[in-house]
Structure 1
Amino acid sequence: MKSTVFAIVASLMLASFIPCLEVVEISEDKTTSFTASTSDPIRNETTSEIPAEVETYDLGLWTEWYHHVDDWPIDDQEAITYYFYIDNSLLGSELHAFLDIYDAWFSADPDLDLYIYDPTGYLVAYSENPYDESEEVFFIADVTGYWSVVVNSYDGSGWFDLYRAVISNAAPILDYVEFNTESPHINEVFAVDACPSYDIEDEGNISFSWYWDGYEEFQDYDNDGAADCRLYMIADDAGDHVLSLAVADSFGQSSTIDFNIRASDPGWFSGDGDETQTLEMGMEGMFQFDQMTSVWQVPDVLPGEPFRFQVGLLYEIQLESTGTATTTLSLDAPPDD
């Protein structure tokens, strides 16, 4: 009798091939996208043949491909190979196989074992339970190519059911906080903190890439050679800009989001010496004009002579925001007639 050996390498423990789902809400004023696969990864006993009975399920963040080989015969010492095909879009997906030995009347059931090999032929997961016990294996597909699932008869002939599934790798979940991104002034700092973002498979290894109008921006505050999860920026001109963020896991699956940035010039309307000036953004600033000249002496005039005195004032005010934006305002108050 063979000893029981069961080896599994996996990141998700699945029940009936369906993972626990998480509802993720995305803000309506942002554009978010996720990478997804459209290929069918399940193959028959040849790499080119896709079974007609493959079922596909939309699980929200995941896609599942499922196939059942029903009541298939196997001879003593025979090995039957089936395949998965993993392309770049499916890297990080979970491969799952479950082997159930068919109970036949009036005959001994075979002792079957189950194996998964990577595209190089290296054994990565196996299940070798004794006698006619069921077998089950998992593995995370970390390279592209044809992966093989082998049903091997250790002892005896009979029938089996083989259930196979591929559950795609979900892209990271974007979580972020914005600072002053709605309408920053020219040369005023705004920021996005995406550090709360995470990989739903608990991989814990995600990378951040930032783009300003399609050109990559790089900030490495940790000095580790990778872009930081926070970005601080200044727009040096007025107008519409797009700040993009891509968050990717170690397998290259990514989520992206665009922030529409409109930098504004904090220009003022001019006035004729009024103490209240209105900003273009609908704000108001109050200024108290104080005497900044010496007392002028009016020259003596002869009684009865006409006297006319006119004064024109020019104030120049410099406005500085809490950032680095600076605006100079000139108030011209011409002399009254």
Structure 2
Amino acid sequence: MTGASGVDVVCVGESMVTFVPTTPGRLADVSAFARTIGGAESNVACALAAAGHRVKWVGRVGADAFGDHLVEAIGGWGVDTTAVARDPDRQTGVYFRAATDRADGGHEVLYYRAGSAASAMSPETVPWGVVEGGRMLHVSGITAALSDGCGALMHQLVAPRPGRPLVSFDVNYRAGLWRGGRAAVLLELARAADVVFVGEDEAEEAWGLRGADAIREALPEPGVLVVKRGGRGAVAYERDSARREGAAWGEAQRSGPAPGSAARTTVPAPAPDTVTAAPAPHVTVVAPVGAGDAFAAGFLSGTLRGLTVAERIRHGHLMAAAALTTPHDLAAPPSRAHADRLVALSDDAWGRLRLGPGWTGEDLEVRTS
């Protein structure tokens, strides 16, 4: 199921070169790092491509060696990077993070992204024909905080307009990027999207909202709202109209490529929800970074395949588990057949799943006890 350009999903946003210590410890203490890649939208793009979907990443990197690495590495996951711009005047963003969490559960991360090539994105620098050529557009709240130009870009990307793709928006609240009460911008962007992902913890920190129902009350417009609850799983609120569209997508997947999304010029009036909750399996966590992006990729993959919301949430949990059981931001997901077998488990068997490092391998038996 693809858009007119043959693309399922276009992901727009920042990606950075990531350095992760080769041994546990504080960043002040470690002396050797492994180079990898990271960025909310590019993480989703890579995971979706690995899951068999046609994906483009639209971003901006420096005309430097790290920019070369990002384009080559993301392309190596099967993502189309031909629309990535190279900036001759700004550097590629870089960040460092600890290999493990601190004792208090916090994450030690140092960003070097101020003035980066990605921060120069704006409505004038993005190829709109490419952005609107996919069946779905995925963006995150991180991009909106990078600069005024990036903020303007995000508002235009989510704005209702004829021919707009279905917009997926991951709130991805980062307190350091939204000082001075500016996080209300994220609420505005989320209300304009079709599919929204947000964690209970970040909604409380950013907006003072406690609990999934309160979040839905503040975000009545999206056809699908997914509230992530960490180890407790996730709950999805789905409008009847969104459920019908999902069924139509499933039929299009079986019968052949679908045309672009219908025009979206108005925000529909709120209607009754179907509420679906699905627990997360037990996971032996190696590193938590990237799990939220992986969850979004799993859920969106299920959406593209026309699966039920319960199945989409389970696919999201499995993609997240793949990321949680590796030390890097990105992890190869289980094969579609492997994931489908686990998603089809009974509620009892699903509740007994035990996923640890290496569980995505086809030759490994997944524990259900």
| TM-score, normalisation: structure 1 | 0.21
Structure richer in strand, relative to its length: 1
Structure richer in helix, relative to its length: 2
| TM-score, normalisation: structure 2 | 0.19
Higher Rg of the two aligned structures: 1
